[in-house]
Amino acid sequence: MLIMTSSTLDSSKQQQYPVAVPLVTQPWGIWRTLQAVRRNVLSIIPEIATRQPIVSGKMVRRWHMVMDPDALRQILLENLSNYPKSEVTKNLLEPAIGESLFIAEGDQWRWQRRTAAPVFSSRNVQNLAPVMSKAADRCANRIADMAGKRAINLHDEMITTTFDVIADVTFSGDGSFQRDRVHAAIEAYIAQAAKVSVFDILAFPNWFPRPARLVSELSLKETKSIADKVINERRLQKPSGVPDLLDLLLVGEDPKTSRKMNTAELRENLLTFIVAGHETTALSLSWALYLCAFNLEVQDRARHEVQSVLGADRTASAADVEKLPFIRQIIDEALRLYPPAGMISRTALADDVLCGRKIRPGDMIILPIYALHRNHLLWRDPDAFRPDRFTDRKSVRRYAYLPFGDGPRICIGASFALQEAIIILATLLARFRFSLVAGRNPEPIMILTLRPSGGVWLTAEPDP
């Protein structure tokens, strides 16, 4: 496998650019590669992947990293059925979310997607915005209590805030939904069981036990039991108020077959929404706040926009989202520099050709979104933080920017996540000035998602 020793940024570049993953420039052996994967999946990306359309190699089996938009379109849209999710992905996530939308393939995926799609309609997403605004306001109040006293780990705050949102819009008003226990179980699974196993990399079969996942499955069983209890109790209740995600899924049915989700299918998809819905948005916000503190000119410009819409103390709402284009640009740029799903993988089922290279059945196709978003063939000065890249989103080449994927399997909750991120970021920037803490820069490390290892430590001062 063509894996190389890590490159480092010189001190002048470190000051000029926000933190980045050191990519590799000289060959590594298999053992060192496996160790690197366990710590940070992105650290095995060759630096040349940011300058070429495709990079190939072999470790146990052939692999291809693809950064070419036309080839990505082929994988994600034109020849989608030839590139199902890899066994590595399924091994990581199936114990937690089963055959849900994220994992399922073929007909099993199609009927679930048709059933769930109306749940995330624009109308339903906007109806859930008050939950996001309330969570943003609570977050601002917590920060206000700490402002000026000490550094604050904004990543922890964003995790708390987005979990509040997803818990409320998923199981609103259910006293039996023990959110703290569910949150702890999900965090434990992500931290331990979701690490890529050596057995995954060496293509061991699914039935071969992965020790960390066996331990974590105990807490997952409890989480599933809690979710099942809530679902079954909700079936017996009459809907009241604004329907939440569970209400909408309970009445949802496949328009082609009239099939409805049973309790297990509801639980698996709701847990998918909980895991993905809070984790990825929290990461987007954490990195966006870091970037705003890194570039105070951007932060001041964003605050001016927000205060012109909200004033100094009003909480953002769904009606404000379209009036905050620069806030959206900051979030778009944060997703470019630090995509939550920084690397995804597929397995080729049949012969194909990508970028003029022959693809064989069984080849691993790696979509290194992190390298795609920093590819010099596609982006000018790709390591720089420049929200103005997204002033005109139509100018961004399709399949060069994939924070939510694309094609039929594009993230079903993308509009939900963007609305939530804009409401929370706008509310916070209207009220506080955020600054970096010397010597406490976050480190981008991807296990299941691209997290700021060590946290995002910032100071917050109330805006006068």
Provide the token pair at 370: 């992190």
DSSP class of residue 85 equals B
- The mean pLDDT value for 121-140 works out to 95
**22 CB contacts (<8 Å, ≥6 apart)?**
6, 7, 8, 9, 43
Find out whether 457 and 437 touch, Cβ atoms under 8 Å. yes
pLDDT of residue 9: 47
**Residue 152: strand pairing partners:** 458
Region 362-385: mean pLDDT is: 96
pLDDT for residue 201 is more than 70? no
Average pLDDT of the residues of the chain: 86
More confident residue, 87 or 390: 390
4 occurs within a structural domain: no
Q: Does residue 15 belong to any structural domain of this protein? A: yes
Residues 414-448: pLDDT tens digits? 999 999 999 999 999 999 999 999 999 999 998 78
Tell me how far apart the alpha carbons of residues 25 and 286 are, in angstroms, rounded to a whole number: 29
pLDDT for 14-66, tens place per residue?
568 999 999 987 766 665 666 666 678 888 899 999 999 999 988 778 999 99
Classify residue 261 by its DSSP letter. -
pLDDT for 5 equals 40
Residue 400: inside a domain: yes
Q: What's the Cα-to-Cα distance from 130 to each of 281, 317, 392, rounded to whole Å?
A: 17, 7, 29
pLDDT in tens, 340-361: 999 999 999 999 999 999 999 9
Distance from the first to the final alpha carbon of the chain: 55
Q: How many CB atoms neighbour CB 320 within 10 A?
A: 20
The pair phi, psi for residue 374, each rounded to 5°, is: -120, 20
pLDDT score of 3:
39
In a domain, 454, yes or no: yes
User: Residue 319's domain spans which residues?
Assistant: 11-462
CA 324, CA 330: separation in Å to the nearest integer? 10
Would you state the structure tokens that stand for residue 360, as one six-digit string?
Answer: 């064989």
Residue 299 CA to residue 429 CA, distance in Å, equals: 8
| Model pLDDT, residue 2 | 39
Residue 241 lies in a domain: yes
Indicate whether 1 belongs to any domain. Answer: no
Establish if 273 belongs to a structural domain. Answer: yes
CATH number, domain with residue 446: 1.10.630.10
d(CA 332, CA 463): 25
Distance CA 368, CA 68 (A): 11
In whole angstroms, what is the distance from residue 227 CA to residue 177 CA?
7
Evaluate if residue 376 carries a pLDDT over 80: yes
Supply the pLDDT for residue 148.
Answer: 77
Q: For 285-342, how does the pLDDT look when each residue is reduced to its tens digit (9 = 90+)? A: 999 999 999 999 999 999 999 999 998 679 999 999 999 999 999 999 999 999 999 9
- In contact, 133 and 420? CB cutoff 8 Å: no
Mean pLDDT over 253-261 rounds to 93
The number of distinct structural domains making up the chain is 1
Q: Does 379 have pLDDT greater than 90?
A: yes
In a domain, 128, yes or no: yes
Q: 61-66 and 364-367: which strand pairing?
A: parallel
Spatial contact of 427 and 321, defined as CB atoms under 8 Å apart: no
How many residues are given for the chain? 464
